[in-house]
Structure 1
Amino acid sequence: MRRARRRRNALIGVMLSAVVIGTAQPTVASAAAERGPRPAAAPQSSVHGVEEAIARSLASSLSHSAWRAQVRSAALRTDEVDLQALTDHAANPAGARLRSSASGANRQVAGLKGLPSSIGSLLRIRLGAPSMRARLSADVTPWVAVADSDDHDRVITAYDSLGRRHSVDATHVPEFPLYVVDIDAAKAHRAGLRVLSKALAANGLSAPQAGRANAAAAAGWWATKVTAVEVNDDQEPWFKGAAEMFSLVTGFGQDGKARVDSVDMPYLDYDGKVYYPNQILVNWSNYKYNLADVVMMEDDDGTNYKSLAQALTTALLTITDQGTYIPLVNAVLAAMPDSWFTDDPDYVESWYTLSRNSSGRLYGAAGNGWMTVEPYFVEQF
């Protein structure tokens, strides 16, 4: 996650289980075969490219001892340092010169992720690993790297103060300390879900339901609650951090149109750890049928929420209610670029035909994890 933002700041593997209710459970492989052509991946002038440019500039600026000391002090004081705030308070010209670059880079990152410019600063720097704290002495000039979006790379690139590139083993923590340029994934993720929810609602894909749903809400409503969840250990690189996960719950709304509800899962940080969230996953009063699908995703640096909303809208508005439940997972997967299924960690897992009565441990269709669910009635007071 960043395959546990361990699969971006570290991404993903995740979960779904086949709950076979009168129909055969499709596999991820068969679903992929049926998807057909998907949107092309975004051009590689991406968030990673912006981060890399800032990493080179920051590395060069560290040749100035006073500025290097200020960065060192900030990095030892907190886990993640706001780069814009740091340059705004730079006591040395070397840091001050980074100010406009950091400001421009923040605007670029926001645009590339489909976020409003009002979100402000997103770029962060941090030590590559906790063990580096003891090695970050005043006489050391650290290298600067970027948290690579490809979790399968065996090396990452770091820059020194002379602008030279160095290949660093991604599988073992190096002896030499280095900083990692990253984004504030939690901040970007929260803003992104607001963009996604607003866009889906504007297109009638997650608007409040009228009629039967409102009548049911007068007494309460049935939900599916996640009581435990675990994602498999994907042996994340040392430089990754915690994941930012969310799920898309899809089905047919009370109006017979395809519906998507985004569910934030901010606790789901790392692979190989069981979480006990007791979180509502599905509000069944929003859906016409007693079945829904779930697609789990992770926010990585390249996730563009505006593009995701547009892709989902294009794919789902063409699907009409045929009087019986139709799984929508394939339509959601078909809307995603190829890169989201390969190196990038955006896509995690899928559950088909989750029902209101589903309970117990459900294993993912891709075999990447499991979750335990139970029916839960939410009373109206």
Structure 2
Amino acid sequence: MPQFRLRRAVATLAALPLLALGAGQAVAAPAPQPPGAAHPAVAAGRVTAIEDQVARTLATALADSALRERVRTATAGSAGPAALTPLAAAAPGASARKLADTTARADREVAAAKGLGGDLGPLLRVQLADRTMRGALDGGAVPLVATAATDEHARTLRAYDTAGRVHVLETARVPERPVYLVDLDTARTLAAGIALLQREFGSQAPTGAQTAAPASATAAAGWWATKITSIQVADDEEPWFKGAAEMFALVTGFGLDGKVRVDSVAMPYLQYDGTLYRPNQILVNWSNYKYNLADVVLMEDDGDTNYLALAQAVAAVLLTIADQGAYIALVNAVLGALPTSWWTDDPDYVESWYTLARTSTGRLDGARGNGFMTVEPYFVQQF
């Protein structure tokens, strides 16, 4: 199965006492966690524990041959991952009812752990780990169940059988026995996370991060934008035991009022490394910015991202930066706000681009060397 994999950021970068911002500005790195925000490492551990519990419950429930057949059918062919809660709720039997109760509770707990409130609906999914396992599964083999690992360097993976026993699988090769993976519907969590980021940044509007342009910002005839015509992240190995990534970008600059502005842009299509995507997506609305330069930080939700902690950490740092009458690069401020765990354990930070201009066109390589995008100016005509 294709896999999105990212190179680790250099651990010492996160340990630097100061990251230069330019123009005499500096920001501490990493920023302390704001009050009330769940520590990302704790949140990530909680999500992993929830997924593991669901994997074991699903594995034991698959002792019921009728439920096993339902799951096999639901994940067959091009059906892709199946949401677990509705799948279990529609199946008869005590095992299915227990599974439905467990997954419904787990859906709420995962949403809370990611800072997204208590209920986003079905979040946990099941899918066959690799399409080469389909033949054995269709032939009657009883599958194991594991969680989609967040550590792409993992050498082993823990899976469960129908008796709840643990099996240790080597990640270097695809197992002969079929394996179901339990993971998150990150498209759903990403959409909710982007909405949360916008709300959190917007709540700082009187004194800091902006998300809504003044009414006078947009010219009657329309506005200039930067459009992504293509984008790709670095190629790497493709392990069988992980699902696709979900990406988003933070665009930063100074708003028309001279205060720092942050806009979050969802990129749910950007799932696999080594794949060139052609989204024709608007990245920057220049009518919202005072200067003709902005910065972009590309991030990944690999299942563990706590959006509330991210928004609060970034906003807390950017609030300290004042407009000095000239463009100031803000990428380092955003990176300095990222919690330490996002530099050392998890691939949440992907790439960054400095000084993206309204006139930028063509290929732009990322500062980290982990990806590139091609862009062009684009005028959005007003009706």
Normalising by structure 2, we get a TM-score of 0.88
CA shift at 1:28, angstroms? 11
Alpha-carbon shift at residue 45 of structure 1 (Å):
3.7
Query: Once the two structures are aligned, what percentage of the paired residues are identical?
Result: 53
Please give the residue correspondences for 1:301-380 in structure 2 after superposition, counting only pairs within 5 Å. 301-380=303-382
Aligned to 1:244: 246
What letter corresponds to residue 153 of structure 1 in structure 2?
A: A
Q: CA deviation at 1:338?
A: 1.5
The alignment status of 1:67 with 2:67, answered yes or no, reads: yes
Structure 1 position 37, deviation (Å): 3.5
Partner deviation per Cα, 1:186-243 (whole Å, 9 max, x = no partner) = 11111111111122112212332226523xx212222111111111112131122322
Q: Does 1:201 align with 2:202?
A: yes
Are 1:149 and 2:142 counterparts? no
Inter-partner Cα distance in structure 2 for 1:293 and 1:45? 31
Structure 2: which 5+ residue stretches go unaligned?
A: 20-28, 33-38
Contact 1:145 1:180 in 2 (8 A): yes
SS in 1 for 2:91: coil
**Partner secondary structure for residue 167 of structure 1:** strand
Instruction: Name the aligned partner's letter for residue 119 of structure 1.
Output: L
Q: Please state how far the C-alpha of 1:84 moved relative to its aligned partner.
A: 0.5
State the alpha-carbon separation in 2 of the partners of residues 94 and 66 from structure 1: 10
For 1:172 and 1:93, locate their aligned partners in 2 and report how far apart those are by CA, in whole Å: 35
In structure 2, the residue matched to 1:112 is 113
Mapping for residues 110-259 of structure 1, pairs under 5 Å: 110-137=111-138, 139-204=140-205, 205-210=209-214, 213-214=217-218, 217-259=219-261
Q: How does 1:38-57 map to 2 (within 5 A)?
A: 38-39=31-32, 41-43=40-42, 45-57=45-57
CA–CA distance in structure 2, aligned partners of residues 46 and 162 of structure 1: 24
Instruction: Give CA-to-partner distance per residue, 1:163-200, whole Å, 9 cap, x none.
Output: 22222122322111011001111111111111111221
Q: Distance in 2 between matches of 1:207 and 1:354?
A: 19
SS of 2:282's partner is strand
Counterparts of 1:176 and 1:288 in 2: how far apart (Å)? 58
| Bigger mean CA deviation after superposition, 324-333 or 233-242 | 233-242
Q: 1:317 & 1:189 partners in 2: Cα distance?
A: 25
CA contact (8 A) 2:52 2:147 kept: yes
Q: Does 1:37 align with 2:43?
A: no
Count of aligned residue pairs for this structure pair: 360
Q: What amino acid is the match of 1:172?
A: R
Secondary structure, aligned partner of 1:274: coil
Whether the aligned pair in 2 keeps the contact of 1:212 and 1:254 (CA below 8 Å) is: no
- Gaps spanning 5+ residues in structure 1: where? 15-26
Q: How does 1:17-36 map to 2 (within 5 A)?
A: 33=16, 34-35=18-19, 36=29
Q: Mean Cα displacement is larger for which, 178-187 or 43-52?
A: 43-52
Residue 76 (structure 1) aligns with: 76
Give, in angstroms, the shift of residue 13 of structure 1. 5.9
CA distance in 2, matches of 1:30, 1:131: 40
- Comparing 203-212 and 129-138, the one that deviates more: 203-212
Higher relative contact order (CA 8 A, sep 6+): 1
Task: Please tell me whether the aligned partners of residues 69 and 138 of structure 1 are also in contact (alpha carbons under 8 angstroms).
Answer: no
Whole-Å separation in 1 of the counterparts to 2:13 and 2:113: 32
- SS of the aligned residue for 2:73 comes to helix
- Give the distance between the partners of 2:7 and 2:353, measured in 1 at CA: 13
Q: Distance in 2 between matches of 1:74 and 1:149?
A: 24
**Contact conserved, 1:28 with 1:366, CA < 8 A, in 2?**
no
- Report the CA distance shift for 1:31/1:90 in structure 2 as closer, same or farther (over 3 A): closer
Once residues 232 and 45 of structure 2 are traced to their aligned partners in structure 1, the CA distance between those partners, rounded to angstroms, is 34
Question: Counterpart of 2:138 in 1: which secondary structure?
Answer: coil
Q: Deviations over 1:311-364 (max 9, x none)?
A: 122111121111111111111111111221233121111111111121221111
Q: Distance in 2 between matches of 1:31 and 1:322?
A: 27
Structural RMSD (CA): 2.2
Aligned partner of 1:267 among 247, 266, 269? 269
Task: Return the TM-score normalized by structure 1.
Answer: 0.88
- Hey, what's the Cα distance between the residues in 2 that align with 1:28 and 1:317? 26
Mean Cα displacement is larger for which, 355-364 or 289-298?
355-364
Tell me the secondary structure at the aligned position of residue 240 of structure 1.
coil
